[in-house]
Amino acid sequence: GQQLNQSPQSMFIQEGEDVSMNCTSSSIFNTWLWYKQDPGEGPVLLIALYKAGELTSNGRLTAQFGTTRKDSFLNISASIPSDVGIYFCAGAPINAGGTSYGKLTFGQGTILTVHP
Amino acid sequence: GAVVSQHPSRVICKSGTSVKIECRSLDFQATTMFWYRQFPKQSLMLMATSNEGSKATYEQGVEKDKFLINHASLTLSTLTVTSAHPEDSSFYICSASRLGSYNEQFFGPGTRLTVL
């Protein structure tokens, strides 16, 4: 089955620094999603990407759908302590019929720690 | 919009008992609901996909008689862990997708199950 490689696994940064994380896949994805999960909570959708090359921002967050449709990155600018959490990429693969049925493949997650 | 609730948020039960977890989409109709299991510091593992009025589709290795899923309406899905054992202890999270959301999944807050 499809696998997503998400990196880095963890990051320790100072408040105010920018953060970058990415996901790569061995196969093409129809949709890329980025989620943030706080401890003991469910993931919250941050950004959704639907087209190859698409660049979308949500406040200090920017994500891009790679032109090959096999990768995506998420940038966080000017990090703050509340950015702490686990960030997951997720992709909706394309089946043989050229569509996807909503099932997502998740990356392993990036644990972000922000020091004040 | 796109709020998903789960009940209970945490449950402790004795080995051999059954536990039911509810997942509700509060402000939209969910065409599809998903059930995930998550171990500490790991990614989400899809257990099953359910559509209203039809049988759930289980992922490979997930026992359907162990994890009973009922999707009775467009806003409610339930997961029943039957004859729970300590190894079933985990964080269970549901998600829901809505008509036209095109692969976006909105997650509930999760249910922490502890089996003694």
pLDDT in tens, A47-72: 999 999 999 999 999 999 999 999 99
Interface of A with B (CB under 8 A): 30-31, 33, 35, 40-45, 48, 50, 88, 90, 92, 100-104, 106-109, 111
What CA–CA distance (Å, rounded) separates A99 from B3? Answer: 26
Determine the distance in angstroms separating the CA of A94 from the nearest CA of chain B, rounded to an integer: 11
Q: What is the mean pLDDT of residues A4-26?
A: 96
Whether residue B49 and residue A103 make contact (CB cut-off 8 A), yes or no, is yes
Asked which of A37-41, A53-57, A95-99, A103-107 is least confident by mean pLDDT, the reply is A95-99
pLDDT in tens, B16-48: 999 999 999 999 998 899 999 999 889 999 999
Residue A35 in tokens: 């989620």
Mean pLDDT of all residues belonging to chain A: 91
Task: For chain B, give the longest Cα–Cα distance.
Answer: 42
What CA–CA distance (Å, rounded) separates B105 from B88? Answer: 24
Whether residue B108 and residue A42 make contact (CB cut-off 8 A), yes or no, is yes
The sign one gets for the Cα dihedral A98, A104, A107, A110 is positive
- The torsion defined by the Cα of A62, A63, A64 and A69, in degrees rounded to 10, comes to 180
Model confidence at B101, in pLDDT bands (50, 70, 90)? confident
pLDDT in tens, B71-96: 889 999 999 999 999 999 999 999 99
Model confidence at A101, in pLDDT bands (50, 70, 90)? low
Residues of chain A contacting residue B2, judged by C-beta atoms under 8 Å apart: 45
Determine the distance in angstroms separating the CA of B7 from the nearest CA of chain A, rounded to an integer: 13
> Kindly report the CA angle at A23 between A21 and A29, in degrees rounded to 5?
145
pLDDT at B9: 97
For residue B103, give the nearest of A41, A44, A92 by CB distance. A92
pLDDT at A115: 93
Whether residue A41 and residue B110 make contact (CB cut-off 8 A), yes or no, is yes
Which residue pairs from A51-54 have beta carbons closer than 8 angstroms and sit at least 24 positions apart in sequence? none
What CA–CA distance (Å, rounded) separates A37 from A44? Answer: 6
Q: What is the mean pLDDT of residues A8-24?
A: 97
pLDDT at B72: 85
Do A107 and A90 form a contact (C-beta atoms < 8 A)? yes
Model confidence at B53, in pLDDT bands (50, 70, 90)? confident
> Which stretches of chain A are assigned E, i.e. beta strand?
4-7, 10-14, 19-25, 29-37, 44-49, 55-58, 61-65, 71-76, 85-93, 105-106, 110-115
What CA–CA distance (Å, rounded) separates B45 from B92? Answer: 10
Model confidence at A109, in pLDDT bands (50, 70, 90)? very high
Q: What is the mean pLDDT of residues A14-34?
A: 94
Range 22-61 of B in CB contact (< 8 A) with A: 32, 34, 41-44, 46, 49
